[in-house]
Amino acid sequence: MRLRLRNVFLVYFVVSLVGLFCALRELGESRGADFGGFRGVWTPPGWAEPAQRGFGGVQRGLGGILGRIWKVWGEPALSLPPEPERPILTPSFPRRPVQKAELVRLSQTLLHVPALHWVVVEDAAAPSALVGGVLAASGVSFTHLSAETPPDLRGGPGAPSWLFPRGAEQRNRALRWLRDTRGAHEPGVVYFADDDNTYSLRLFEEMRSTRGVSVWPVGLVGGCAWSGRWSRGGVVGFHTGWRPERPFPLDMAGFAVALRLLLAHPRARFDPRAERGFLESSFLGGLVTPGQLEPRADNCTQVLVWHTRTEKPKLRQEEQLQRQGRGSDPDIEV
């Protein structure tokens, strides 16, 4: 009996050592993929919350195993704040050759962000198969809607593009969807992300702590190198190259709104007849005063989003080839 117990012990010891070795190896490999949480999305180095970063630093090798046990058993004691949902609202305009490319590119940015839900609203009578295909293939959690801009808010064929603000109808549709589906006390931060801008991944981390409306500078907007809130010696103002007298001289990409604040003000919406440059003000005016804006991005000194625009491609050769009956195969989706 004594001998058999020892044998059992030895065999168990060897087997569990192998298991321990495998687990150590596994933990070593997956170290980088921690804390993303949502769908195994990887958090790039350097933009985790400091509290997470310090904790993550412990998790290497054997220290990793111990940290892991600590994580599993000590979780209620540590109580990291839950990752708030980040609904990202994007209007998308069909009948543009770059529509698919822009959505594909933006989806790759959003795929890095934990707890994100992408609400894409097409300016069309119904959601299109093209956009639906991009969203389904993207790997991002999404909702696909549509809301057509009424003809009287579209401007005639010769009217300048800035006569009416673009995307008001679509953003209002997304707001309605949020109000219909989210409970009044759900944590979350809502951001309006147009499909041609460039977003640093740090931006999504900065907006995470939004209590009301948070703001940051936007690069390459309104004819300026950057535009945004500034403060010096207690004085607060806005740097902008376009109508500084606006109540909220902010670009659509320059703020995020707490979901709770949005749900507490069921009438806040974008005015589709707002004067040029006043679309953001028409929405924010129903939520906060300019003095309540919460600066982020190192007190608004870091540009983490750029108002890039994609060139409208010239398809002259295509038209020429089509006249000769040799146009690009239309069965190939672009």
Binding residues: 196
Identify whether 148 is a catalytic site residue. Answer: no
Of 164 and 226, which CB lies nearer to a second copy in the complex structure?
226
Count Cβ atoms within 10 A of the Cβ of residue 274 and give its class: 0-12 exposed, 13-18 middle, 19 or more buried: middle
Query: Within 13 Å and on the Cβ side, how many CA atoms surround 290?
Result: 18
Residue 334: other Cβ atoms inside 10 A: 11
Of 173 and 229, which CB lies nearer to a second copy in the complex structure?
229
**Smallest distance from the beta carbon of 334 to a second copy, in angstroms?**
4
Catalytic residue, candidates 102, 122, 280, 294: 280
Query: Within 13 Å and on the Cβ side, how many CA atoms surround 122?
Result: 21
Question: Strand pairing partners for 237?
Answer: 230
**Smallest distance from the beta carbon of 187 to a second copy, in angstroms?**
21
Extract the annotated binding site for Mn(2+).
196
Of 264 and 321, which CB lies nearer to a second copy in the complex structure?
321
197 close to 252: Cβ distance less than 8 angstroms:
no
| 11: its two tokens | 């065999």
**Both ends of the chain: CA-CA distance in Å?**
74
**Smallest distance from the beta carbon of 265 to a second copy, in angstroms?**
32
The whole-angstrom distance between residue 232's C-alpha and the CA centroid of its chain comes to 30
Of 174 and 293, which CB lies nearer to a second copy in the complex structure?
293
Q: Give the closest residue to 29 by CA, choosing from 38, 37, 21.
A: 21
**Smallest distance from the beta carbon of 183 to a second copy, in angstroms?**
26
Name the residues annotated as catalytic.
280
